Structure 1
Amino acid sequence: MVFPFSIILIFSFFLFFLFLVITLTSPAVTPTFPFYRSVTATYSVFVESKLHPLPIATVPPPPRISYLISGSAGDGNATKRTLLSLYHPLNYYILHLDLEASPRERLDLRNFVRESELFRRFGNVRVISKANLVTYRGPTMVANTLHAAAILLKECGDWDWFINLSASDYPLVTQDDLLHMFSYLPRDLNFIDHTSDIGWKDHHRARPIIIDPGLYMSTKQDVFWVTQRRSRPTAFKLFTGSAWMVLSRSFVDYTIWGWDNLPRTVLMYYSNFLSSPEGYFHTVICNAQEFRNTTVNSDLHFISWDNPPKQHPHYLTVDDMQRMVNSNAPFARKFHREDPVLDRIDAELLSRGPGMAVPGGWCIGSRENGTDPCSEIGDIEILRPGPGSKRLETLISSLLSNESFRPRQCV
């Protein structure tokens, strides 16, 4: 059957008109690009994006951070306070009081979490009920960290970074400040203070062989030494540094699964190493080809040490307040329990009321007459960064500069 030319022409005009209508009435589609950037990208891109913020439509989503907050006997209330100072609905929290803490103290902490309407609503705080015995100079501290990391990987869904803290740590910025700043970072970065120049630790830590009674006893005892000494390993290079870290999920996943066996081999070596938390993760990450170029040489802490450093740093007080702020670090340690400087940090840096979480963009309640603004909750992905984000930006920009980033990786 042959159609007249006029009918074909009319039908063609109809199709063209239909195409115009669909095109003009359809919403514009803006091409999207993945935020996730490789750590090998030029660092100036990061700095430039902070100096000239991206349009609202392309601002990356906030990350999720998982925290381990660990303590011992008498640290129950300090653990609660540190948790509230760090709390954000997007994050996950693992709380651990070691076996030296009394069952009553551990139960009190568990009840504090269970009875909190805020924590129940988001279900993102967990208390390790079967406590580990932790010898702080032995490998049981590493085992406790790996235990918490395994729980987070198994039970806590998606998260981007893992941060280990103690009950004597305290934040110097809000979580809105931290999440805002970290939303612009490649998710594979690892903040870990490290060096292969182990100096005096070669004689005092690498050569001796110690036994940690916490591996096989139910009561706490200090480590003891074996008379025989050993040579430095040749299968991998030793690194040392701070026991406090910000680790990417991909690296934490690697330390748990250890698909090329390096994490397990290094763990067995460090089971007889004094102060193994200051070397295990550092040695693994710098000997793993996949991760050695993801390190940022910093623990993101303000810590006041003697020179040369002793076993423990100074306790921080009100006299250290300005130095803490000037450091631009997001965390500081160590603090005495309920030291007045913590109240000053709450008032001047965190805007946190007694017994309350630090308010953020997710808190939409009133502040009148001491009311908790987080009693009313809005969109938990809305961030309201404050002055702390500017300080943190200064620190991160310095750490990722051409002078500091690559030249200080695993050397």
Structure 2
Amino acid sequence: MNGTSSLMTLKRIFIFSLFSVFVLCFLLLVNEGHIKHESSSPPVGIQTFHKYNINCLAIYDFDPMEVEKALIIKKNQIVKDTDESLSVATSNCPLFIQTRGYDDVCVSEEEKDFPIAYSLVVHKYAWMVERLIKAIYSPANIYCIHYDEKSPASFKSAIKSFASCLPNVFVASKIEYVYYASFSRVQADLNCFSDLLRSEVKWKYLINLCGQDFPLRTNIELVSELKELNGTNSLMTRQTPEHQKRRYKYQYEVIGNSVYVKRLVGTERLKSAPPHGIEIFFGSAYFVLSRDFIVYMNSSAVVKDFLKWSEDTFSPDEHIWATLVRIPGVPGEVPRSSPDITDLMSKTRLVKWLGHEPHLYPPCSGIHIHEVCIYSLGELRWLLNYGHWFANKFDPNMDPIPLQCLEEKLEERRKLFGC
């Protein structure tokens, strides 16, 4: 080998070595995240809510090892998903839609021909709101979200960002400060009613939800059961218990020097009798109402007078809907002479009330807030077998496992229908 050849060989070795070092450094930088690159897998910024390594089938069967594992997660390992992370995830709508599977939702012809409208009144847990909508999502449906004006800016920003990613999800055009047990809760739903009636989507039924509800049925199952209602309304409506009548016999008012500390208080001022001789019935805040009924409400002077009369009552959402569906001649009427329809009889919402445990249902395995059970592992089988469409309440910061397992169960049910 002559000197020239040796020199050329050394140059090649040097160049190859330099190239190898460059490639190694590049890979290290990529691995450390210092170099941005396009990838089909979601970047860190698109990470969704936290999922736990849990076997839901074993939990349904009360497998001791898996239940113990879930209880340890509940006690020590809960990851609190932030509103800000949803804002980050939805800053890239196409990637968010793909990551969460909104672009791959199976829709039957039956669902396309029977769109459902939703009014969601929410105030916290942005990811929970997103998961709720995802669990019942269909491009044929339409979803109005009303957030509480008092909610943190991070929550409101996340909800607006999420809604901007989907053409059939929107934030109500008029937003209220919502106060516990006041008419503002009803007004929030009414605001969504108006927006939904103006929508081009000719929905058949309207269902109202809160941010801690979760479905127990898939959209195609809901469509099938709503069709069976054949235009009637579904909700709790019963004779008012004597101890509840004070709620509308006396005036209540919202007081406070700041929008963030206002609260509803009772007075000793008697109210006038309900207008138009309307008989008051007792129910809940949750309903399934036909489009014809909502249209009627929107144009009826009797309804408007009754809503106005209810503005200074306590928790008016627990008598307004139950009463309006009993007015003679309304679309989907429940005759005044009909027997009581309890919350367990209506499929609208499954709630465990402290006062009804244990004689109506098993004791709550979670905790109670405002006498309502926050569901835990012990409720899963009961929830799925009771026949209701939605359940309340869930709290991902207290026990995230029930939500994750219900999501898996709904996915299984969708597959049974070919999706």
TM-score by length of 2: 0.63
CA shift, 1:218, in A, is 4.2
Query: d(CA) in 2 for partners of 1:82 and 1:139?
Result: 25
Aligned to 2:224: 180
Instruction: Give the CA deviation at 1:257.
Output: 1.5
Contact 1:210/1:224 (<8 A) preserved: yes
Residues 220 and 317 of structure 1, relative CA distance in 2, 3 Å threshold: same
Name the structure 1 match of 2:406.
Answer: 345
- Distance in 2 (CA, whole Å) between partners of 1:238 and 1:385 is 45
Question: Over residues 35-70 of structure 1, what are the superposed CA-to-partner deviations in whole Å (9 max), with x where a residue is unaligned?
Answer: xxxxxxxxxxxxxxxxxxxxxxx9897411100122
Identical positions, percent:
20
| Structure 1: 5+ residue stretches without partners | 1-57, 352-357, 362-383, 387-411
The residue type paired with residue 348 of structure 1 is: K
**Aligned mate of 1:251, from 290, 293, 311:** 293
Say which is worse superposed, 291-300 or 274-283, in terms of deviation.
291-300
Deviation at 1:299, TM superposition (A): 4.8
Q: 3-state DSSP class of the match of 1:212?
A: strand
Query: Match for residue 82 of structure 2?
Result: none
- Partners of 2:178 and 2:154 lie apart in 1 by 18
1:109 Cα deviation (Å)? 1.7
CA contact (8 A) 2:274 2:306 kept: no
Contact 2:235–2:286 (Cα < 8 Å) also in 1? yes
Please state how far the C-alpha of 1:311 moved relative to its aligned partner: 4.6
Alignment match, 2:116:
65
Report the residue type matching 2:296 in the other structure. Answer: Y
Distance 1:263 1:305 in 2: 30
8 Å contact from structure 2 (residues 150, 259) kept in 1: no
Count of residue correspondences: 289
- For residue 226 of structure 1, the aligned residue among 229, 245, 267 is 267
Say which SS state the counterpart of residue 145 (structure 2) adopts. Answer: strand
1:91 aligns with 2:141: yes
CA distance in 2, matches of 1:292, 1:174: 24
Separation in structure 1 between the aligned mates of residue 375 and residue 250 of structure 2, nearest angstrom: 32
Name the residue aligned to 1:23.
none
Aligned equivalents of 1:99 and 1:147: distance in 2? 13
Distance of aligned partners of 1:220 and 1:322 in 2 relative to their CA distance in 1, 3 Å threshold: same
1:105 maps to what in 2? 155
Q: How does 1:32-51 map to 2 (within 5 A)?
A: none
In structure 1, the residue corresponding to 2:202 is in which secondary structure?
coil
CA contact (8 A) 1:212 1:224 kept: yes
* Match of residue 197, structure 1, among 235, 240, 255: 240
* Contact 1:262/1:284, CA 8 A, preserved across alignment: no
Secondary structure of 2:325's partner?
helix
Q: CA separation of 1:107/1:269 partners in 2, compared to 1, >3 Å: closer, same or farther?
A: same
Aligned pairs for 1:329-340 (under 5 A) are 329-337=388-396, 339-340=400-401
Shift of 1:232: 4.9
- Note the C-alpha offset of 1:183: 3.4
1:103 Cα offset (Å): 2.7
Structure 1 stretches of 4+ with a deviation exceeding 6 A read: 58-61
Q: Secondary structure in 2 aligned to 1:88?
A: coil
Distance 1:130 1:81, change over 3 A: same
1:236 corresponds in structure 2 to: 278
Q: Which has the higher contact order (CA 8 A, sep 6+)?
A: 1
Matches within 5 A, 1:5-404: 62-72=113-123, 74-114=124-164, 116=165, 119=166, 123-128=167-172, 130-186=174-230, 188-203=231-246, 205-213=247-255, 218-230=259-271, 232-233=273-274, 235-258=277-300, 261-291=301-331, 293-294=333-334, 297=341, 298-307=346-355, 311-337=370-396, 339-351=400-412, 384=417
Q: What is the deviation of 1:184?
A: 4.2
Correspondence for 1:34? none
Letter in 1 for 2:234: F
TM-score normalised to structure 1 length = 0.64
Residue 318 and residue 302 in structure 1: after superposition, are their counterparts in 2 closer, same or farther (change >3 A)?
same
The RMSD of aligned alpha carbons is 2.9
Counterparts of 1:75 and 1:213, CA distance in 2: 27
Q: Which runs of 5+ in 2 are unaligned?
A: 1-108, 358-368
- Whole-Å Cα distance in 1 between the matches of residues 283 and 291 of structure 2? 20
State the Cα distance separating 1:230 from its structure 2 match: 3.6
1-structure distance, mates of 2:402, 2:211: 15
**1:360 deviation in Å?**
7.1
The letter for the 1-side match of 2:410 is L
Change (3 A) 1:344 1:150: same
